[in-house]
Amino acid sequence: MAKYYKSRLPEPTVYVQEEGMWHSYGFGGLLKQKRGTIPEGILNYTDEISEDEAKDWIRLRVEEAERIAAARLTKARNNAAGQAPSIKQVIQQKARVVGAAALSFIAFTAAVFLMISFVEGESLDSILGGFGTTGFIALVVAPFTVGGFVFAMTWHSRPGWGDGALFGLGLAMLGYATSSARAGILVGLANALISGALAAALSGIGGVIAVAISRLLLAPSRATKARTLKPWHVAAILSVLLVFSAVAAGIVLFSEDDQEAQKEWNEAVRLAEEGQAAEEQGRVEEALALYSEAIMAEPGYVGGWSGKTTLLLEEGRFEAALGCAEGWTDSLPKNSSSWFYKGYALEGLGKYQEAIDAYETCILLDEANGRDTEETRDRRDQCHELLTNPDKIAEDEYFDTVASPMTKIYEADQLIEAVFDSESAEEALSLLTQYCSCLDDCLEDILAIEAPARLVPAHAVLTKGVQNLKAGALGISAALQSGDADAFDESSDTLLQGSDAVEAYRELMLDELSK
């Protein structure tokens, strides 16, 4: 008893296994017959079908081949007799090509609007901004596949995958024609070659789907009249549905919601600009409030986030700055600045590993967009060093703390210079009193600082130097009151020793900071 098989390919073939022999049938009828059994490699890609289904399928393929052969014969006879196609026939052929192209382009555009509207509820800006897997499917794969499918279904009575690929290629050439004037002919041509290959491949997928669907619709069925349904009927119905869907999607995308979003954006810009003006005038709290209002008005506007975060960092409010930066990264995860300032805030809080992670994210985003990453890399490397060398953390804190008394010492130097330039003993004594009071404050701050082990000797030099400055100033004051010239000279030497010690300490610190 014979068995019948049908391949799963877009252009299927029917195989008949009889006793000692097998046959294959395709477009036009019998393709080949051989002795033996159907090879295992062929059977792996086939499904067994009934005898009636196989015979009906073979008959349809034979009839289709006969119709095409008859049409070709008629055309050949007309050409031989010198008879050109009628004007009506030419118009019909051209109209079908133009109509198929127009219908496919409408379906392509409709698919773009549909995907923008329904892919995870994202807006056009967010899809284009991220352009990840979702954006690629939404704006590239789906529309080209739909366009290729409709073109393949409507251009010929017998769809082929190449018809779908032709649509994508034509669309790419249209893009080249419209962009080459702006980008330059060579650049536009290079872009067209790349985009053409991609477009042809993607729309070719639509052509393959068209072939599969047309075969399915034209397959014989005793229970339905599916064989009477033409491929262009399906394409027309699908295109009409897509057009109506596109209109609905357009209403959704460009309705009052879009206008409201624009108002919110403009309001956020205005508030951020007012916040910047308040910040420049020193009204910190007012500026922070305005930046917060800008963020609430439109979380997608960078100006509100950056203004508030940077101002908090400048004020040394690292905990609040971190909270703001985290909100920024949540709202705009693709914005590299949000990750940079998050790392900066974490660094200020001593959370160096978390800061490194934030800086790494910033670097990846900047590299993807071709931006400079040197500053971010420097801060990341500094965090690495602080993380691997805990002593450096204490030393950095020491340098930051000792800066304040050092500044006071340099301010006090102006007083001692005025002492030697004073014209009366009373004026000199008054200046010396102010000088000693300033040194008392400095010495109190210095003694309260706990220097790291490696910097204890240097800190001792500073302490001794300030003590000598104070001792010399008190000695000079006493000498002026007693009129003792020798005591004045001795006290002046003590003052100079203190000044030399402070200068030696300053040079030591500069060497340490330069390492």
What is the per-residue DSSP string for 38-49?
--HHHHTTEEEE
Distance (Å, whole) CA 31 – CA 35 = 14
> Which segment, 131-145, 146-160, 234-248, 450-464, is predicted with the most confidence on average?
450-464
pLDDT of residue 469: 87
Q: How far apart are the first and last CA of the chain?
A: 93
> Which segment, 122-131, 260-269, 477-486, is predicted with the most confidence on average?
477-486
Question: Which residue has tokens 């200046």?
Answer: 431
Last residue of a domain, one of 80, 109, 143: 80
Last residue of a domain, one of 51, 80, 109: 80
SS3 content of the chain, % helix, strand, coil (to 5): 80, 5, 15
> What are the pLDDT digits (tens) for 74-120?
666 665 555 555 666 667 666 767 777 777 777 777 766 666 555 44
Residues 463 and 497 in one domain: yes
Helices (H), 223-335: 231-253, 256-280, 284-297, 302-314, 318-331
Name the packing angle between helices 374-388 and 352-368 (round to 10°).
160
Residues 243 and 352 in one domain: no
Residues 76 and 97 in one domain: no
Residues 199 and 145 in one domain: yes
Residues 8 and 96 in one domain: no
Other CB atoms within a 10 A radius of the CB of residue 481 amount to 10
Q: Which of 130-139, 325-334, 349-358, 394-403 has the lowest mean pLDDT?
A: 130-139
Residues 235 and 149 in one domain: yes
Residues 71 and 172 in one domain: no
* Domain contains 51: yes
- C-alpha dihedral (229, 230, 235, 238), degrees to nearest 10: -10
* Domain contains 86: no
For residue 150, which of 164, 171, 130 has the smallest C-alpha distance?
164
Q: Which domain holds residue 465?
A: 396-514
Based on C-alpha coordinates, what's the Rg of the chain?
42
Residues 198 and 234 in one domain: yes
Residue 227 carries which DSSP code? G
Number of domains in the chain: 4
Residues 264 and 234 in one domain: no
* Domain contains 76: yes
Identify any residues that bridge with 417 across adjacent strands, giving them in sequence order. Answer: none
Side-chain half-sphere exposure of 253, counting CA atoms within 13 A: 19
Write down the mean pLDDT value for the chain: 76
**pTM attached to this predicted model:** 0.39
Instruction: Return the exposure string of 75-84: e unless at least 16 CB atoms fall within 10 Å of the residue's CB, then b.
Output: eeeeeeeeee
Q: Are 36 and 49 in contact (CB under 8 A)?
A: no
**Residue 17: strand, helix, or coil:** strand
Joined together, the tokens standing for residue 80 give 């031989």
Distance (Å, whole) CA 5 – CA 414 = 105
Residues 187 and 247 in one domain: yes
> What are the pLDDT digits (tens) for 147-188?
777 777 776 666 665 776 777 667 666 665 655 444 445 555
Residues 47 and 106 in one domain: no
Last residue of a domain, one of 391, 426, 456: 391
pLDDT-derived band at 71, boundaries 50, 70, 90: low
Specify the CATH number for the domain of residue 359: 1.25.40.10
* Domain contains 70: yes
Residues 101 and 201 in one domain: yes
Distance (Å, whole) CA 308 – CA 313 = 9
Joined together, the tokens standing for residue 306 give 């950056």
* Domain contains 85: no
